[in-house]
A and B are shown apart, each in its own frame.
Chain A
Amino acid sequence: MSQLNTDSKASDQRQLIRSGRFRSGRESSWRELESIVSKLEKKSVRSLSAREAMELPKLYQALISSLAVARNTILDKNLIQYLENLSLRSYLAVYGPQGGLLQPIANFFRSDFPQCVRSLKAPIIISGLSLLAGILVGFIAVLVDPMYYSLIVDPQIASGRDFSASPEELRSKYLDAPYTNFEQNFIFFANFLFRHNTIVSLMCFGLGFLAGLPTIILIFTNGLLLGAMLALHFDKGLMIEFVAWLSVHGITELTAVVLAGGGGLAIGASIVFPGQWSRRANLADKGLKASKVMIGAIIMLFIASILEGGFRQLIVDTFSRLIIGFMTLVFWWYYFFKAFQIDPKKKS
């Protein structure tokens, strides 16, 4: 009986035209893939059974080759449309960020962030130089004529920190301001600073889209502000105290702003000087690196705002402040240039 059955099946096979045989041999694997993909479309990879997860790549590869063959040798329109549709659905389901959120976060700190900073060296250096230029110009201008101070520094930001203030006032109001309480410092002040700084650096980054010039201007004006402040404290004989006060958070914060600016400049450069690729391809490549740098910068700003809002006023001693500032400098330098370097021998 069974012999007869297989015989009649074999004769069926012979009777089908060639493409019918192609289909009957593969259809079950397509159907299986379709059921897995339908599951994936609704839920995550974790909803698949171990066997399904094992089968998925094999079935996907088989489908892709089926489609490649079918396009060239089969004229059944419905079949080809079905295969194309299923290929697209599986492509969309298979490719994409898989797994948890922790892995990309760990990878980001271990390799992505420092690597991207290193690979965008040139724009970051330019961004740093424009900050330095701003500081220098602000410093010299205010030293030459104190009138410039009120022009550069918005009285709202200065809030009393101007040439009419005595050194003692500056000291008691800002440099050695008493530590009020945890709530005031940590939550209120740190939060305000974080948001303000994040928006400034997002602007630096986003304005890179306009060929990078606004980024340079924005960073330069921030430098001007800092330079003018420096000149004020220099004039009052509080230079070292001010630098120490600033260095606690300032090194982290300024580095972050420079990095964000560098990211913006990289984006600008990819538009103005696209090189051998199209502008869009270039933008996609540089933009990715720049946005990694930007995310790192936001995290750095968060750290800076905690240092600024919380720790700065806890430590009153100028020397300790300088040491903390120096330590943050060493830390960032080590993080970006020494730690997590890929050994070229290992890579190959």
Chain B
Amino acid sequence: MKEKKDYTLISQQLAKLKRVIITPEGLPLKLYLSNNGERLYAFFVDCILIVFLIFLISILIALLPISLPIRTTLISFVSFLISLFYFTYFELAWRGQSPGKRFLKIKVVKRNGSELTAFSIIARNLTREVELFVPLWLFATAVDSQNLFLSLFFMSWAILCFLFPFFSRDKQRPGDLIGGTMVISLPKKLALLDDLTELKTKMKETRFVFTQKQLAIYGNKELQTLENMLRQNNKAISARAQKAMQKSMAIVCEKICRKIRYTDPVPPEQVERFLSEFYIAERDQLEKGLMYGLRKESKLDPTVRVGKPPTIR
């Protein structure tokens, strides 16, 4: 019970992060925003890399035969440039990913789904400078000159910008607003599994015959639930898992028989076969309906709707 509750909590969280973009081809695609924790970590990773880069270059500059004030000036100039162009360079070269983002598998995309342009990247990273680095630097100088008002002002400026993505709609920071971008988490790879209807070619004959009326009871949702079950059964390798699957499949089989009034008894060793054949027959039937614009979402769908636009799940 507790596990199930956690699962719904996770899916609720995911639903909050779900966004639909329209690609330039006009195809709606769903994707998930990255959460602020991931972005924060990515930013930390990048900061560490920046500090490391500056450190390396400082060592190189320290080896040059020049006077001390020139050396410090050069170092400060170079570190200014690095902090200014690090993000821009990497997000340009790696199509919207800095090393930290790559490490955490998140990416910058345009909020409206159009192509991510070079200048969206430049805009969002220039604004980062004004959001965080400049106010922190000014804060340091204000503290140095013991100006309480200014130091409070710059600190609250940086904090406000820092907290901005926690409150904005698409978790955008001010730079994202200006660049028209948002940060998403990269999709995990999904494998294409075997087609369950392929079984039909392997079978010599169909053993179970269903009438049109029997196939008209269930809808898409039930079909896909059955699909999940059959795929799980295919995945089950260990004897224990197979046994558990057989048990639950027997229950499902019995339920289906009762619901569609399939009166012939199904012997236990034929349960899997029965479910597979029912799946194929039901899918064929429902997909034929789709060809004519008839869509039955679930068994609760009383009338078959005509011409209903497809929903994006």
The residues of A with any CB-CB pair to B shorter than 8 Å are 12, 15-20, 23-24, 27, 30-31, 38, 44, 61, 64, 67-68, 71-79, 81-82, 84-89, 91-93, 95-98, 101, 104, 112, 183, 187-188, 191-192, 194-195, 199, 202-203, 205-206, 209, 267, 280-281, 283-285, 287-288, 290-292, 294-295
Contacts and interface: CB of A to CB of B under 8 A. Distances in A.
The CB with the most chain B CB atoms within 10 A, among A18, A68, A206, A285, is that of A206
Contacts of B266: none
B195 A283 contact: no
B115 A95 contact: yes
B224 A17 contact: no
B287 A17 contact: yes
Contact of A96 (B27, B96, B200, B280): B96
A288 B120 CA distance: 6
Nearest to B72: A188
B291 A96 contact: no
A291 B115 contact: no
Main secondary structure of the interface of A (DSSP, over half): helix
A76 B70 CA distance: 68
A188 B69 contact: yes
Contacts of B291: 18, 73
Contacts of B100: none
Contacts of A199: 134, 137-138
Nearest to B224: A77
Nearest to A72: B310
Given A75-B220, A75-B286, A101 B196 contact: no
A53 to B, nearest CB: 15
A290 B122 CA distance: 11
A71 B310 contact: yes
Contact of A77 (B107, B114, B179, B228): B228
Interface of B: 23-25, 27, 29-31, 66-67, 69-70, 73-74, 76-77, 80, 89, 92-93, 95-96, 107, 109, 111-112, 114-123, 126-127, 129-131, 134, 137-138, 174, 177-180, 186-193, 195-198, 200-201, 220, 223-224, 227-228, 231, 280, 283-284, 286-288, 290-291, 310, 312
B122 A291 contact: yes
B80 A195 contact: yes
B287 A288 contact: no
Contacts of B312: 71
Given A73-B290, A88-B31, 4 more contacts: A15-B200, A16-B200, A101-B93, A283-B180
Contacts of B67: 183
Contact of B180 (A92, A203, A285): A285
21 contacts: A18-B291, A19-B283, A20-B198, A38-B189, A64-B27, A72-B290, A72-B310, A74-B290, A85-B190, A88-B187, A91-B23, A92-B187, A93-B95, A95-B23, A95-B115, A95-B116, A183-B66, A187-B70, A202-B134, A288-B123, A290-B178
Main secondary structure of the interface of B (DSSP, over half): helix
B25 A291 contact: no
6 closest pairs, A vs B, by CB? A284-B180, A206-B130, A287-B178, A96-B95, A291-B123, A85-B190
Contacts of B283: 17, 19, 75-76
A291 B29 contact: no
Given A75-B287, A96-B96, A202-B130, A16 B197 contact: yes
A279 to B, nearest CB: 9
A12 B73 CA distance: 76
A284 B70 contact: no
A92 B73 contact: no
Contacts, number: 198
Given A75-B283, A187-B74, A97 B177 contact: no
B77 A195 contact: yes
A61 B25 CA distance: 8
Nearest to A68: B27
A15 B201 contact: yes
A191 B76 contact: yes
Contacts of A24: 195
A19 B287 contact: yes
B24 to A, nearest CB: 7
Contacts of B129: 202, 206
A27 B114 CA distance: 27
Given A16-B198, A73-B291, A82 B191 contact: yes
B127 to A, nearest CB: 7
Contacts of B284: 17-18
A205 B288 CA distance: 59
B180 A89 contact: no
Given A12-B201, A79-B195, A288-B123, A67 B27 contact: yes
Contacts of B119: 104, 112, 288, 291-292
A231 B130 CA distance: 33
Contact of B116 (A97, A291, A295): A97
Contacts of B25: 61, 64
The CB with the most chain B CB atoms within 10 A, among A61, A92, A290, is that of A92
A206 B134 contact: yes
B57 to A, nearest CB: 15
A104 to B, nearest CB: 4
A280 B178 CA distance: 8
The CB with the most chain A CB atoms within 10 A, among B109, B228, B231, is that of B109
Contact of A280 (B69, B177, B188): B177
